[in-house]
Amino acid sequence: ADNQFTVYIQPKYSLDAECLVGAEALVRWIHPEWGMVSPGEFIPIFEKSAFISRLDQYVWEQMCALLSQWKAKGYPLIPISVNVSRADFYQSHLADDLLGLTAKYGIDPTYLHLEITESACAENLNQIISMVEQLHELGFVIEMDDFGSGYSSLNMLSQMKLDVLKLDMKF
């Protein structure tokens, strides 16, 4: 409500093609008294409450609005990766919400890459696989971040339709 959350865009650049190929949305909390609060401090707290889903929805809408602005200005569109938290997967309306946002802003779902973390798959894997399949069928690109950070399972990878696999640095 106070606009304390800001979304920054981290570019993804192809060294082979020597061009910008995408971006990743990174949310930051700029508190009026505390200044910039590290995501490492606030994300775990938000994940324990339902607030993480509201924050995710805020970021999704911000990025769809940005892509729509770029489209209206005639800029070439690049895909933007946004986080989908574990809590989001337990919302039965997740696919409808995401599809509704892309429709509202006139954006093809392929421009909104959905990034899940490997830890999101630690609980109720079948539900995650089912939702990933549904989102994939709707045209969303699915990325898994932090693979190898502790819940690694090659078997899980064989069951899930992923488009991008981002390895954890420790892996």
**Residue 147's pLDDT is what?**
63
pTM for the predicted model, two decimal places: 0.88
From first to last of its 171 residues, what are the pLDDT tens digits of the chain?
888 999 999 999 999 989 999 999 999 999 999 999 989 899 989 988 878 999 999 999 999 999 999 999 999 999 999 999 888 888 889 999 999 999 999 999 999 999 987 666 666 777 888 888 999 999 999 988 766 556 556 666 667 778 877 766 666
- 114 and 85 in contact (C-beta within 8 Å)? no
Question: 161: Cβ–Cβ under 8 A, 6 or more apart, which residues?
Answer: 132, 133, 136, 142
